[in-house]
Amino acid sequence: MKTKDYIKVSFPSLSSNEGFARSCVACFAARLDPTLDELSDIKTAVSEAVTNCIVHAYPGEIGTIHMRCRIIDDKTIEVSLRDTGVGIEDVDKAREPLFTTGDPCERAGMGFSIMESFMGKVKVRSKPGKGTTVVMRKTLDGRK
Q: Name the residues annotated as catalytic.
A: 48, 52, 107
Judge whether 97 and 110 are in contact, CB under 8 Å. yes
Q: Is 66 exposed, middle or buried (0-12, 13-18, 19+ CB in 10 A)?
A: middle
Tally the C-alpha atoms within 13 A of residue 29's C-alpha that lie toward its C-beta. 30
Kindly report the number of other CB atoms within 10 A of residue 115's CB atom: 25
